[in-house]
Each structure stands twice: as C-alpha cells, then as structure tokens.
Amino acid sequence: MKKSSAPGFTLIELMVSIAIIGVLSAIVTANFGTARAKSRDAKRVSDLAQLQLSLEFFFDRCNQYPPAPLDVTYECPPTGSGIKLSNYISAIPKPPAGGPGAGGAYSYGTNGSFTDYVIRAQLESSSSPLSDDIDPDFTDASNTAIPCGDAGLNYCVGPK
C-alpha cells in the first residue's frame, strides 16, 4: 500500500525560509541606516553652501560679514541702508533631524573686523566633503574656538 503525503512544507523548510528572510532584512536595514546618514550629511553640506553664497552676496554689498549669531534681520551698517541678510536668504537653515546637531544650529563665527568667518556642521560619516573643507580650527571675535578638524567629522567653510 502506498503512503499518501499531504502537499506542503516541512517544519525544517519553513525555518530555513524564515532564517533567510531574517538575514536579508537585517542587511537591507543596515544599508538603509547608512543611506539615511549620508543623506543628512548631503543636506548639511548643501545648507552650508547656501549660507556661504548668501554671506558672499551680503559682503559684496556691505564690505563685512554679519556678526554671530546669524540673524536674517541683521542690517548692513549704517542702519537704514535697507540691505539685510534676508535679501539673500529667507531663513537660516537648521541641521536635519537625527545625528549630531539635530534641532540646533550650525556653528558660525567671525573675526573682530568681520572680514573672515567660518560655518561648521558636524557630519555623521567620514565622506568626500571632508577632503575639501577648512581644517584648521577657527577662533572667532569672542575668542571662542570653532573646531574644524576632520577627526571630529567637522565640515567647515569660509569665504570663497
């Protein structure tokens, strides 16, 4: 007499399938987290480039950079000139949520004569932007050091 076997999967086959799906989902999740960090870093670099361009336009008209902290309502001296930082940027960007600096502000400082500045963002991963930024630390007008070394994943820009 022939044994009849019901169609279906054995317990071993189901366990192997579940294990494979678990390993694949772990790999995808890990890669997704890295991609999100790189995306936030790209946003930080883009924000600093936007700020840098706005500050250069402001300097072109006023022959000085605005003092720290950055404020779009700052008006070029003498007061009443009508030239404000808001003419070149509508709002000071904030770092993206997640990672270092989330919800805070980018570091900004100028020298005493307002002819030099640095803007700093802290990145989450060592990436190519770190190879072409400013690396020596910057000391602002209030004698506060703004760290710019690549070891701390600090991305800094200054006047072009």
Q: What local confidence, expressed as pLDDT, does residue 2 receive?
A: 60
HSE toward the beta carbon, residue 76, CA cutoff 13 A: 18
Q: What local confidence, expressed as pLDDT, does residue 55 receive?
A: 97
Calculate mean pLDDT across residues 78-97.
91
- DSSP type of residue 70: P
Q: Which residues, 6+ apart, have CB-to-CB distance to 133 below 8 Å? A: 148, 150, 154, 155, 156, 157
For 118, phi and psi rounded to 5 degrees? -145, 145
- Pairing state between β 145-146 and 138-139: antiparallel
Of the candidate ranges 28-37, 62-71, 118-127, 137-146, the one whose mean pLDDT is the lowest? 28-37
Please give the model's pTM, rounded to 2 decimal places: 0.80
Q: pLDDT class for 91, splitting at 50, 70, 90?
A: very high
Q: pLDDT class for 3, splitting at 50, 70, 90?
A: low
Q: pLDDT class for 100, splitting at 50, 70, 90?
A: confident
- Percentage of residues of the chain with pLDDT beyond 70: 96
The rounded mean pLDDT for the chain is 89
Q: What local confidence, expressed as pLDDT, does residue 128 receive?
A: 77
CB 32 within 8 A of CB 38: no
pLDDT in tens, 15-51: 999 999 999 998 888 778 788 888 999 999 999 999 9
